Amino acid sequence: MKYTGNVIKYGDNVDTDVIIPARYLNTIDKKELASHCMEDIDKTFTSRVKAGDIIVAGNNFGCGSSREHAPIAIKESGISVVIAKSFARIFYRNSINIGLAIVECPEAAEEISESDEVEIDLDNGIISDKTTGKTYNTEPFPPFIQKIIENGGLVDSVKAGIIK
C-alpha cells in the first residue's frame, strides 16, 4: 500500500484531548468528530487539510485518553498516514484496529518539514520526502499485526476467525 500527500507538522505530546476535545464526545458521528479535529491546538487544521495529507509529529503522539474518537477524527479528516517519533500505546493499537496507517520513524519525523510532499510505501516500510529527495527506512509491523491490517482491522479479523 502506497500513500502520497502533503505534510502537516506538529510537535511532541500531541494528546487526544487536543486531537478531539472531550466536549465533542457526546457523538459518535465520524464527520462531526472530524469537524473539530485538532481545533484546540490548530484552528486552521480542518480548513486546510486535504484528502491524503500526512501528519508528521514528535514523541508520544496520541497520549492521554483511550478515546478511539481521536484516530477516527484524524482518519475522517482525510489524513492518510501519521508519522511520528513515537506513539502513545493506546493510540497505536486504536489506529491499527480502525485501519489508520501509522509509521514510527524518529529520523523522518525530525527532518520532514511542513508542506513537504511525502510518499509512504507501507509494505516495504519506506518513507520518501519528494521535496527534499531524502528516503527513510522503518521497521515493518510484526506479522500478527500485518495480518490484522491485511484483514482490514480488528473487527474483520474477528469475522475472518483470526481471533476467536
Partner 1 sequence: MAMTMTQKILANHAGLDSVTAGQLVLVNLDRVLGNDITSPVAICEFEKMGVSNVFDKDKVTMVMDHFAPNKDIKAAEQCKMCRDFCTEKNVTHFYDVGQMGIEHALLPEKGLVCAGDVVIGADSHTCTYGALGAFSTGVGSTDMACGMATGKAWFKVPSAIKFILKGKLGKYVSGKDVILHIIGKIGVDGALYKSMEFTGEGLSSLSIYDRLTMSNMAIEAGAKNGIFEVDEQTLKYLDEHCSRKPVVYKADPDADYDESYEIDLSEIKSTVAFPHLPENTREIDKVGDIKIDQVVIGSCTNGFYKDIEEAAQILKGHKVAKYVRTIIIPATPAIYTKALENGLIRIFMDAGCVVSTPTCGPCLGGHMGILAKGERAVSTTNRNFVGRMGDVTSEVYLASPAVAAASAITGKITDPAEVMGK
Binding site for partner 1 (CB under 8 A): 13, 15, 17-18, 21-23, 25-28, 40-41, 59-60, 63-69, 71-72, 86, 88-90, 93-94, 97-98, 142, 144-145, 148, 153-155, 158-159, 163-164
* C-alpha cell, 91: 493510540
> Which residues have CB under 8 Å from 55's CB, separation 6+?
7, 8, 9, 10, 74, 79, 81, 82, 83, 84
- Select 80 or 94, whichever has its Cβ closest to partner 1: 94
- Select 31 or 130, whichever has its Cβ closest to partner 1: 31
Q: Can you give the length of the chain in residues?
A: 164
| Distance separating alpha carbons of residues 146 and 9, to the nearest angstrom | 26
- Select 17 or 117, whichever has its Cβ closest to partner 1: 17
Q: Name which of 64, 80, 87 is nearest 139 in CA terms.
A: 87
* C-alpha cell, 84: 511520528
* C-alpha cell, 150: 491485511
The DSSP secondary-structure symbol of 85 reads: S
- Select 4 or 146, whichever has its Cβ closest to partner 1: 146
> Which residues have CB under 8 Å from 26's CB, separation 6+?
none
Asked if residue 112 lies in contact with residue 7, where contact means CB atoms within 8 angstroms, the answer is: yes
- Select 5 or 71, whichever has its Cβ closest to partner 1: 71
Shortest reach from residue 120's CB to partner 1, in Å = 22
Shortest reach from residue 97's CB to partner 1, in Å = 4
Shortest reach from residue 132's CB to partner 1, in Å = 27
Shortest reach from residue 61's CB to partner 1, in Å = 10
Shortest reach from residue 109's CB to partner 1, in Å = 14
